[in-house]
Amino acid sequence: MPWKELTSKKRDEFEDILEERRLSSDLRYAMKCYTPVIYKGLSPCKPNAIKSAVLHSEQVQYVIKQLAKEMGESPDIIQEEATEILDEMGHRMQLGAVRFFAFTLSKIFKQLFQRVCVNEEGMQRLQHAIQEHPVVLLPSHRSYVDFLMLSYLLYTYDLALPVIAAGIDFLGMKIVGELLRRAGAFFMRRSFGGNRLYWAVFAEYVKTMLRSGYAPIEFFLEGTRSRTAKTLTPKFGLLSIVMEPFFKREVFDTYLVPISISYERILEESLYAYELLGVPKPKESTSGLLKARRILSDNFGTIHIYVGQPVSLRTLASGRISRCPYNLVPRHLPQKPSEDIQEFVSDVAYKMELLQIENMVLSPWVLVAAVLLQNLPAMEFELLIEKTLWLKGLTQTFGGFIEWPDNLCAKKAVLSGLTLHSNIAGLVDGHVVLNDKGVEDGAVGEIVFRHALAVLMCATYRNQLLNVFVRPALVAVALQMAPSFRKEEVYSCFNFLRDVFSNEFIFFPGISLKDFEEGCFLLTKCDAIQTSQQEIYPTDKGSGTVSFLSAMFRPFVEGYQLIFRYLSKEMKEAFTEKQFIPGVRNFVFQLLEKGSTQCYEALSSDMQKNALSALVQLGAVKKKKIPSGFTYNVNQEAVSKILDMFDARIPVQKPVAARL
Amino acid sequence: MAAAAGEAAGGGGGSPSSARRRLRIISGHLRGSPRAPGRGALSPSPCKAQDGSAGPTSGSIPKKRQELLKWNGWGYNDSKFIFNKKGQAEFTGKRYRLGGMVLPTFKEWIEKTFGASLEHKTTSRASLNVNDVPPSIVNEEFLQDLRATKISYSQDAEDRVFRAHGHCLHEIFVLREGMFKRIPDIVVWPVCHEDVVKIVELACKHNLCIIPFGGGTSVSSALECPEEEKRTIVSLDTSQMNRILWIDEKNLTACVEAGIVGQDLEKQLAESGFCTGHEPDSMEFSSLGGWVATRASGMKKNIYGNIEDLVIHIKMVTPRGIVEKNCQVPRMSTGPDIHHFIMGSEGTLGVVTEVTIKIRPVPEYQKYGSVVFPNFERGVACLREVAKQRCAPASIRLVDNAQFQFGHALKPQVASIFTSFLDGLKKFYITKFKGFDPNILCVATLLFEGDREKVLQHEKQVYDIATKFGGLAAGEDNGQRGYMLTFVIAYLRDLGLDYYVIGESFETSVPWDRVLDLCRNVKERIVRECKEKGVQFAPLSTCRVTQTYDAGACVYFYFAFNYRGISDPIHVYEQIERAAREEILANGGSLSHHHGVGKLRKRWMKESISDVGLGMLRSVKEYVDPNNIFGNKNLL
């Protein structure tokens, strides 16, 4: 069975790169002789030469002429516009800025983090890849530290520094924006779907750098930092841009390198929780950054960076891409990718994210958080240790990549997690409780809000397990939902859940049955279920596992039900996302205040958005484009039917029963 | 249709370094070979005396091919590369300019490029083992009918084996070490159109399979007999249909029998002061009918055109009857041109017997030239510009660095200290003074032809363009050696085979904007595939842009590797060649520019011309040859 390799996969060893930094001079490090490994076919050029090449490329010139014709304007004016776009967008990588970052980041990272661990073999593979073909770095995105850290890492290992696709909002920050630009960041507007000139210039800019092998190109498949630490479903735009030079055979091959960066403690954890609860995100500003410097006194534990095996795009595409469409049209003409290509791009995106997930290091604290969330408000310390240890075994069975320091006893591991995350949970009278200070003296609303904050922060860590667990866990949930143990019925429930949660978790498109089989296989492996020809049923021994797994995903099952209920009852008219989020938040908030639900996670705007798009995909909500965005129309009947599928089969659990 | 011959440039035939010298060589051949009395005269007589197999041969290629040509390799028996007692490479024979010369740096090149060693040798078996040859199965009634026609024929094992193959690598390998599973059962030598009509009639009557054979230089497996063919296979050798029937000086056309080989055609036309100018690399051995059957292309097509531009009238014998046009005009609007059903039909429809072809006065002046470019990109840009300005000389080719070094390795021993000093000076100027990297630079070779004055003017124009792309004129000698490489390479393959090195060439045509990407990707693909298939030394993977057109170029690849340590080299070789073709197609290149499809490239035909396109060709085949008499299974 193919997923067997998943669990027995051998992974590389880690090295701490900060160790060396703590022993020798940062200044000397920043001023070291930097002669990076570069692409073999590279003819060195300056950032400005790239911009000029882009501006004069057939691709951009073609669009300029087209637009000039359509709008009846002079091409010069549009060319001017293109120049401005390029100036706004383009990086100006300079060694000086890089050295400045090398120095300051050394100082900052040593303050913030205990260790920064890297798999050196991955770096070696990357070194070969960079020399051989153009390389695209695809890191996971949990924090702003991601791209700083990655560039820092490449500098440390004497590899070509990447150019990084960054959001335009960074440019709002004085000095910092320009500094990032000099360190290799280039800036893209958040949305430019309709702007053909922008699209042409941007795409050509990226492709020019890729084709010439100028530098590794780095961007985030997830599009933005995941506020929940759960991998976001991929965005396809940039990926399809970097794949195009291969499709058109302008390059022989392109390497895609999945990189998993995991944080023992995420720098932005509380910001994210506020944001998810609807307290607006502060705009990026330099003064904001300076204010944030107090976090420098805090400890954020260890970072693990796992550089995955470079994946050859040529190998992925072999036999999948018909060559005809690209042979019959001049290559500089903008061409809408065929359905084949779009499907391929999407498959590759999911594959890369699944590789990120596979190599994402999980800390002991992640296990603690998962156990704790099922045992609120308080859990006996010893029991927590016991359960954590049990969950460690289960996670490893499911192929999770746990970094558990050698010989570290469970107690110490849990304690060190609690120390590092004292802002989230603490030990009171031999019991572990969530740290939701101010509970006693606030108004009801305040209490709910405080508790929600603590739950969401805690959930951020549990969430790191979910994509590893999702296949077996959804089988477990399906087992409880299905009216019988017959395989088809369990599978149909699984399939339903997989569809509903397709925005919440990462599933490779179109292989529902394979996912189901994998889930069953893993559950069988840990003796939780048995399967016969026709039936799947939980074993006596495994009922604990099955109920743990379904409890783990209960917040999502319940949360979605709440949100669906809101939509089916409250939303008679067309609405926008801006109206929907506060509406559903209030709805859930009131239920929490009344105590008629305990599902605090339904307050998360992330879950709310995902639930809405799930309904759109299931056809129960119609999404319409209007000039200022989108409006939504609920098909009450369809939503009720989906709710029935949940409701009729699993009654909403009472909080007490949710305990393990 | 006459056998696949075309530009078997894979085997690369002989493209002697100058047309004039070529003529000299050719006349050398002719003086040495017996000529039938009166054959020089251009007589419109319908058919020559039919005196069976003992009849005198008039062309350069005798009926017993093996008397003149190698039976298990390329070209003439007396011409080959050897390593002499001192371990230096040498080319034997007196037919080519390289003949008798020592090539001092060649051994080092072959060792460095392939990791080959003179100590590790393979040997072909010395002669054909007649006992291995599949028996000739011919029905007696047919033989009786055939004898009645007085057409010469043979059932001799050697005659049949030597018409069972072209010059693909696997075919030569089989000759050296194995045996073909299926070969012709009988060889017939018609001497004129009427003979062919009789043979085709007999074939229809007795339900036989005919495979036309011209020069035998095919590199597309076009001559291989389908293994599953149960009928008697008749190899129709056109080599004895080799007369020029008439020359029309007013219209500048000549009517020629299709079996004539290129060197004889040019030689005989030259006697009247004319030429066709059609010079595929295989022109010493390939035939006019073969050129038509494969849509051949000649080195000097920029002046004279490819075969489709040269042909005025074709006569072809098919099972349905004779197909031809009613007049000999430059162009006509009478529906789709039936010539285009015939050209490229690769022997699947019938036998081309007579062709009226355009002729030109022999040019007054010829000049070689060469230009060095700092890199391949600049070179391609220059060729593109030359094509754009439509000022391409008779031939213009751009070889990449590897091929430049290859050419360099074939430089004969320098006669005097002075020339070697001059060479050193030139090298110094280009690499040190001009800063060209000897491992990156590339060379364009040029051939100008025409009035002396116009040639000089033309030359200046081309060199001026080259200068704009960073090119430096590099002398006539380099140019001439470049063209020499084309013909010796086929002989070189035989040498390679003796030392565990196998290789082949293949070609494509591609739009200008994709030339660079295609060249790079295909070469890289070859290197990669070799590595994956366990080839222990990096292969030779090199290309040249060998023809230019308004809208694109023809690119020619050489690919060779050392197969020591590989148990099934031919299979590995074929896998790599196939991968290279896939790569070409993925890069927007064509299935073939001039080698044709044969059986080697059939699998990609549907992709190349669409389902409907293939159906169109099939329906023509079904009408013309419903019983598949011409059953070589090429193309479709």
Dump pLDDT digits (tens) for B19-32: 555 555 444 444 44
Give yes or no for residue A387 having a pLDDT over 50.
yes
Residues of B in Cβ contact (< 8 Å) with A252: 520-521, 524-525
Give yes or no for residue B496 having a pLDDT over 70.
yes
Dump pLDDT digits (tens) for A457-501: 999 999 999 999 999 999 999 998 888 889 988 999 999 999 999
User: What is the interface size between A and B, counted as CB pairs within 8 Å?
Assistant: 21
Hey, are the CB atoms on A249 and B524 less than 8 Å from each other?
A: no
For the residues B471-489, what does the mean pLDDT come to? 86
| pLDDT at residue B98, rounded to an integer | 86
| pLDDT at residue B145, rounded to an integer | 96
Best residue of A39, A244, A249 to probe chain B, by most B CBs closer than 10 Å: A249
Nearest chain B residue (CA) to A330: B513
* pLDDT band, residue A658 (cuts 50/70/90): very low
B485 annotated as ligand-binding:
no
* DSSP-assigned beta bridge partners for residue A135: A255
Hey, are the CB atoms on A331 and B513 less than 8 Å from each other?
A: yes
End-to-end CA distance of chain B: 15
Token representation of residue B108: 């080092």
| pLDDT at residue B419, rounded to an integer | 64
| pLDDT at residue A270, rounded to an integer | 87
Hey, are the CB atoms on A252 and B513 less than 8 Å from each other?
A: no
Whole-number Å distance between alpha carbons of A7 and A471: 14
| pLDDT at residue A67, rounded to an integer | 94
Residues of A in Cβ contact (< 8 Å) with B607: 324
Residues 286-345 on A with a CB inside 8 Å of B are: 323-324, 326-327, 330-331
| Nearest C-alpha neighbor of B71 from the set B154, B155, B2, B174 | B174
Give yes or no for residue B17 having a pLDDT over 50.
no
Interchain CB contact of A250 with B (< 8 Å): yes
Hey, are the CB atoms on A249 and B585 less than 8 Å from each other?
A: no
B92 annotated as ligand-binding:
no
Give yes or no for residue B308 having a pLDDT over 60.
yes
What is the ipTM score, two decimals?
Answer: 0.85
What is the residue type of A105? L
For the residues A434-441, what does the mean pLDDT come to? 69
Token representation of residue A77: 């004016």
| pLDDT at residue B99, rounded to an integer | 86
Smallest Cβ–Cβ distance between B521 and the set A252, A323, A324 belongs to: A252
Give yes or no for residue B36 having a pLDDT over 50.
no
* pLDDT band, residue B355 (cuts 50/70/90): very high
Best residue of A327, A331, A341 to probe chain B, by most B CBs closer than 10 Å: A327
Dump pLDDT digits (tens) for B432-444: 777 888 889 999 9
Nearest-CA distance A252 → chain B (Å): 5
Dump pLDDT digits (tens) for A240-251: 999 999 999 999
Residues of A in Cβ contact (< 8 Å) with B531: none
Strands, sheet with B253-257, edge to edge from the N-terminal-most edge strand: B244-248, B253-257, B351-358, B311-318, B321-323
Residues of A in Cβ contact (< 8 Å) with B584: none
Whole-number Å distance between alpha carbons of B453 and B471: 23
Whole-number Å distance between alpha carbons of B484 and B80: 14
Whole-number Å distance between alpha carbons of B371 and B479: 8
Whole-number Å distance between alpha carbons of A603 and A592: 10
CB of B86 closer than 8 Å to CB of B66: no
Phi-psi region of B582 (alpha: psi -120 to 50; beta: other; left: phi over 0): alpha
SS3 B312: strand
This prediction's pTM: 0.89
Give yes or no for residue B330 having a pLDDT over 50.
yes
What is the residue type of B178? G
Residues of B in Cβ contact (< 8 Å) with A326: 588
Hey, are the CB atoms on B588 and A326 less than 8 Å from each other?
A: yes
Instruction: Give chain B's mean pLDDT.
Output: 89
Residues of A in Cβ contact (< 8 Å) with B588: 249, 323, 326-327
SS3 A403: coil
Nearest-CA distance B437 → chain A (Å): 14
| pLDDT at residue B418, rounded to an integer | 64
Token representation of residue A223: 């599009």
Angle at A257 between CA A253 and CA A263, to 5 degrees: 170
Interchain CB contact of A351 with B (< 8 Å): no
CB of B375 closer than 8 Å to CB of B442: yes
| pLDDT at residue A174, rounded to an integer | 76
Angle between helix A381-397 and A444-481 (nearest 10): 40
Give yes or no for residue A656 having a pLDDT over 50.
no
Dump pLDDT digits (tens) for B198-233: 999 999 999 999 999 999 999 999 999 999 999 999
SS3 B235: strand
For the residues A416-423, what does the mean pLDDT come to? 92
Nearest-CA distance B517 → chain A (Å): 6
Dump pLDDT digits (tens) for B157-184: 999 999 999 999 999 999 998 899 999 9
A110 or B416, higher pLDDT: A110
Residues of B annotated as catalytic are: 556
Kindly state the DSSP code that residue B517 receives in the 8-state scheme.
H
Residues of A in Cβ contact (< 8 Å) with B514: 249, 331
Residue with tokens 């055979």: A249
B162 annotated as ligand-binding:
no
| pLDDT at residue A282, rounded to an integer | 60
| pLDDT at residue A256, rounded to an integer | 98
| pLDDT at residue B489, rounded to an integer | 84
Phi-psi region of B189 (alpha: psi -120 to 50; beta: other; left: phi over 0): beta
Nearest-CA distance A314 → chain B (Å): 11
Whole-number Å distance between alpha carbons of B343 and B617: 12
Best residue of B514, B529, B608 to probe chain A, by most A CBs closer than 10 Å: B514
| pLDDT at residue B22, rounded to an integer | 52
Dump pLDDT digits (tens) for B1-12: 444 443 333 333
B2 annotated as ligand-binding:
no
CB of A89 closer than 8 Å to CB of A1: no
B473 or B487, higher pLDDT: B473
| pLDDT at residue B1, rounded to an integer | 40
